[in-house]
Amino acid sequence: MKKFFVLTIFTTISTLFAQQPVDSIQKIDTIQKIQIDSIPQQKEIKELYTDDDLKRIDSLLVEAKFNSPLFDSIPYIINDKDIVVDVPKVVTPELLKERLALINATTPFNLSFNPALERLVNNYIKYRKKYYPTLMARAKYFFPIFEKYLDLFDIPLEMKYLAVVESSLRPQIKSRVGATGLWQFMYGTGKQYKLAVNSYVDERQDPVKSTIAACKYLNFLHGLFNDWDLALAAYNSGPGNVLKAIKRSGGYKNYWNIRPFLPRETAGYVPAFYTTMYIFKYAEELGIYPESPKVFNFQTDTIQVKRTISFQQISEKTDIDTEMLAFLNPQYKIDVIPYVKNKNFSIRLPRNKMIDFLYKEQEIYALAEAEDASREKPLPKYFEMDKRIRYKVRSGDYLGKIAIKFGVRVKDIKRWNNMRNSNLRAGQRLYIYPRRM
């Protein structure tokens, strides 16, 4: 009977999530919790279900969040205050202190042991461990891109883990409020940093251009606070919220001292960043081994296109899988690379396929041309109205006579020329859209 109730509550919650996907998902943000404090009769529910039951329910929900196409985004951040079940100590406090001290010695971030971070580290390792091999496979492709530009802008290389926290390294991910891409830029902020968004292209999803924009924004935030931890917090909630938290705390500028005064999500944001850094650096010791990536970034290159073409057309002529093209070119929203004069749009391809593309390039363009030509065109009769002429009224003309001459109606002539009556004068000019000449 208990299992029936567990299945029932899981089905009910899942149904609610399908109707309100992202807002509801964020209310169940860890594998240990149902966010019981948002449900009436918390004590009764805790007594009805064992900790193992609650873990099972949340495990199924998180599994859905990571794998279901119904959800646009996956909440990566867990607030330690939301962990309502005791977490097994996968990493002992002594070992965690030692490892955090070693990381702290090599980074400008302020990693120090505290019970909140300990709970979070053990939570991620215990209950999300199975997701990291896939995540780390993505990292093998994206991290070299991030590191190149982080180094160029003199930003700590560890900032690459910010993209893990923001997007789980999914370029096309979108939050409930519209933040998009690896670095989760809002539309306005993206435009501010020259990221174009139109029907074909969203440069917030471009791994290179969005990374450059993120570097510029992070440098701006660091300039405000002169502290990378506070820059991280400001990246999530905005510099205004961080400044208010500093003021409300009495002027403290250490992240942990202002944390109680930050928005709820931001309070879990920086610890999630620290936890991610720890797991990636000690993955092997934790028994986490990355999957093989689809491709390494150094195995790819770009080429500029000379007309509008689709992924399908490229695939048809070069045998490059469309899924690979989509992975390498996430900035193209509808799997089409547009061609616009004086703008450079390129396609990223596996290097071992570059020769194939160059050899078949003209065939790809010819295929695109043929498919464009084969599309149904508007019938000519619907464009006859474009043949506008200016008719000079002659002596003896009247509207009925002119209408018969051009195969149109009197009321149309009056409408085209804003005429309130039918009076004409010799020499008057009329706009006519003739149906016959």
Q: Residue 1's pLDDT is what? A: 44
Range from 35-39, 42-46, 80-84, 345-349 carrying the lowest mean pLDDT:
35-39
DSSP string covering 61-101: HHHHHHH-TT-S-------GGG--SPPP-SS-HHHHHHHHH
Q: Residue 20's pLDDT is what? A: 35
Q: Residue 186's pLDDT is what? A: 92
Q: Are strands 389-392 and 300-304 parallel, antiparallel or unpaired?
A: unpaired
Is the predicted pLDDT of residue 170 greater than 50, yes or no?
Answer: yes
Q: Residue 74's pLDDT is what? A: 43
Is residue 359 within a helix (H) or strand (E), and if so which, with residue range? helix 354-374
Of residues 23 and 107, which shows the higher confidence score? 107
Q: Residue 434's pLDDT is what? A: 82
Q: Residue 56's pLDDT is what? A: 61
Is the predicted pLDDT of residue 169 greater than 90, yes or no?
Answer: yes
Q: Residue 268's pLDDT is what? A: 81
Contact assessment for residue 419 and residue 431, using Cβ atoms and an 8 Å cutoff: no
What is the percent of the chain where pLDDT is above 90?
Answer: 52
Predicted model pTM: 0.71
Is the predicted pLDDT of residue 382 greater than 90, yes or no?
Answer: no
Q: Residue 237's pLDDT is what? A: 86
From the list 165, 263, 160, the residue with the least C-alpha distance to 214 is 160
pLDDT tens-digit profile of 285-297?
A: 999 999 999 899 9
pLDDT tens-digit profile of 214-270?
A: 999 999 999 999 999 999 999 988 999 999 999 999 999 999 899 989 888 788 888
Q: Residue 15's pLDDT is what? A: 37
Tokens of 226: 């002169």
Nearest-5° angle of CA 155, CA 111, CA 105? 70
Cβ burial of 309 (10 Å; 0-12, 13-18, 19+) is buried
Cβ burial of 189 (10 Å; 0-12, 13-18, 19+) is middle
From the list 165, 161, 170, the residue with the least C-alpha distance to 277 is 161
Is the predicted pLDDT of residue 85 greater than 70, yes or no?
Answer: no
Is the predicted pLDDT of residue 411 greater than 60, yes or no?
Answer: yes
Is the predicted pLDDT of residue 65 greater than 70, yes or no?
Answer: no
Contact assessment for residue 19 and residue 39, using Cβ atoms and an 8 Å cutoff: no
Whole-number mean pLDDT of the chain? 81
Q: Which domains are present in the chain?
A: 1-71 (no CATH), 76-281 (1.10.530.10), 297-374 (no CATH), 380-432 (3.10.350.10)
Q: Residue 71's pLDDT is what? A: 36
| Calpha distance 337→328 (Å, rounded) | 12
Cβ burial of 109 (10 Å; 0-12, 13-18, 19+) is buried
Calculate the CA 364 to chain-centre distance. 29
Is the predicted pLDDT of residue 61 greater than 80, yes or no?
Answer: no
Is the predicted pLDDT of residue 401 greater than 50, yes or no?
Answer: yes
From the list 294, 296, 297, 301, the residue with the least C-alpha distance to 356 is 301
Is residue 315 within a helix (H) or strand (E), and if so which, with residue range? helix 311-318
From the list 183, 175, 173, 234, the residue with the least C-alpha distance to 208 is 183
Most confident of 277-281, 388-392, 416-420: 277-281
Identify the band that residue 62 occupies on the pLDDT scale cut at 50, 70 and 90: low
